[in-house]
Every structure is written in C-alpha cells, then in structure tokens.
Amino acid sequence: MAKMKLYYSPGSPYARKVRVVALETKLDKKIEMVNVALTPIAPNADVDKHNPIGKIPALSVKGIDLFDSPVICEYLDQQHKGRKLLPRKGRDRWVTLRLQAMGDGLLDAALLARYEGALRPEEKRWPEWSQGQLKKINGVLDQLEAEVKSLKGKLTIGTISVVCALGYLDFRFADLGWRDKHPKLGKWFAATSKLASIKATVPPPA
Ligand SMILES: N[C@@H](CCC(=O)N[C@@H](CS)C(=O)NCC(=O)O)C(=O)O
C-alpha cells in the first residue's frame, strides 16, 4: 500500500495533534512526512494542491486529501485495531469531542493573536482585537482548570488537542505565564508531557 503523506511543519500545533495520533496508533511508519513552511501571506503551492483552505495539516491517502486536524485524527483512529482515541459512542464520545473543541478553540484564538502580533505590520495592529483573542484563551484555560478531572486517564483525541494547545502557549506565548492561575492544569500538563508521543513532537525552540 502506498504510504500516506502528511503535510506538516514541526511548529504547527494542529499538525502536532495528528503526529501524536499517528504515534499513539502506531501508524507513523505508514506516513511519509512532508515538512512545509507557510503563513496566510506566504502560502505553499504544494499544500494548496492538497487543501483548498491552504492550511496544514493535510493528509493525502488513497487518492483523497483529508483536512483539517479533527478529520485526519478521526480517519487515523479508524485505521488501527488498538484502543480508540475517539470513543465511538456514548457520553465519552461527546466529552472527548468537546475537549477537542476547547483545545482547537484555544489554538484558533492563539494563532490569530500570533499572526496579528508577528505578521501584521506594526502600524496596522489592533490591540483590542488581540485582547479579544486573549480573552478566549483565558476563558478556555479557566474552564479546563475548573474541570481538570475530565482530562485524567488515557490519552484521547480531546486531551491530545488540549496538550498541543498548552504546548503552543509555551512555544509562542511563554510570557503569558498560563500556569500561574491554572496550577492544576499545569500539573496535568507536566505529567502528560512525559508520554513518549508528546515528548517526540515538542515544537523546536522558538
Ligand atoms: N482548523 C485547522 C487549522 C489549521 C491551521 O490553521 N494551520 C496553520 C498552521 S498551525 C496554517 O496552516 N496556517 C496557514 C494559514 O492560515 O494560511 C485544523 O484543525 O487543522
């Protein structure tokens, strides 16, 4: 069988979700990794061919291009026989998908804030808009701190998304000091960061 092809970059937190899932499901050997660089103002022609939204991750498999990260993660989870990272049914499924939505939602806000602060020309920046994104980030952090119990247990697609989101804050927003007001979440993150799949996918030094 032809290898699947994953378009990713080592610093992309959404692609990290997929890389963690690939390791956890032991499908990593079946995936060829294609390292690409891109931003909204410097798109990548190769990625554009596989994802009309022009974003990573994108996974080329059996003549079909899959995106975005939740879709790819669910696809990979269906391709292995081990413990499922996305429960098929019942309350656990919705708890997992809700957690994924929180991790991804934090990331969406963080990435917008990052693009605003790092890509947009200084004279065009809009502080209130960035503060609005920061409010969303803090909203998710507060919620996760309040329900840290729901994160405990074996990795799921939900907790993978959360760990990648928190890792992205450390990578791009180290000054935020998110652990100060979220100590229980910080403790959970420290413990989870020791897992092999999480360690193997840490973003490179900023
Ligand atoms: N909802 C998408 C978001 C993917 C995303 O925003 N990826 C970033 C890299 S971390 C990207 O490709 N940015 C380029 C752009 O926005 O044009 C997912 O879950 O995969």
CB-ligand 1 contact for 105 (6 Å cutoff): no
Are 69 and 15 in contact by the 8 Å Cβ rule? The answer is yes
Residue length of the chain:
206
User: Tens digit of pLDDT for each residue in 14-38?
Assistant: 999 999 999 999 999 999 999 999 9
Q: Please report the atom of ligand 1 found closest to the CA of residue 13.
A: 10
CB-ligand 1 contact for 38 (6 Å cutoff): yes
CB-ligand 1 contact for 79 (6 Å cutoff): no
Counting ligand 1 atoms within 8 A of each CB, the residue from 6, 8, 14, 20 with the most, and so the one to mutate, is 14
Are 96 and 156 in contact by the 8 Å Cβ rule? The answer is yes
> In the structure encoding, which two tokens stand for residue 124, read together?
């065009």
User: Tens digit of pLDDT for each residue in 137-185?
Assistant: 999 999 999 999 999 999 999 999 999 999 999 999 999 999 999 999 9
Q: pLDDT-derived band of residue 1, with 50, 70 and 90 as boundaries?
A: low
CB-ligand 1 contact for 56 (6 Å cutoff): yes
User: Tens digit of pLDDT for each residue in 111-138?
Assistant: 999 999 999 999 999 999 999 999 999 9
- 67: helix, coil or strand? coil
Whether the model clears a pTM of 0.75, i.e. scores above it, the answer is yes
User: Tens digit of pLDDT for each residue in 67-123?
Assistant: 999 999 999 999 999 999 999 999 999 999 999 999 999 999 999 999 999 999 999
pLDDT of residue 167: 98
Q: Compute φ and ψ for 122, nearest 5 degrees.
A: -55, -40
How far, in Å, from the CA of 68 to the mean position of ligand 1?
8
How far, in Å, from the CA of 55 to the mean position of ligand 1?
4
Please, which residues have CB within 8 angstroms of residue 68's CB and are 6 or more apart in sequence?
14, 51, 53, 55, 57
CB-ligand 1 contact for 40 (6 Å cutoff): yes
Asked whether the predicted pLDDT for residue 49 surpasses 70, the reply is: yes
- Helix ranges (DSSP H) in 35-156: 45-50, 69-78, 90-118, 127-146
How far, in Å, from the CA of 133 to the mean position of ligand 1?
16
CA-nearest residue for atom 17, ligand 1, is: 40
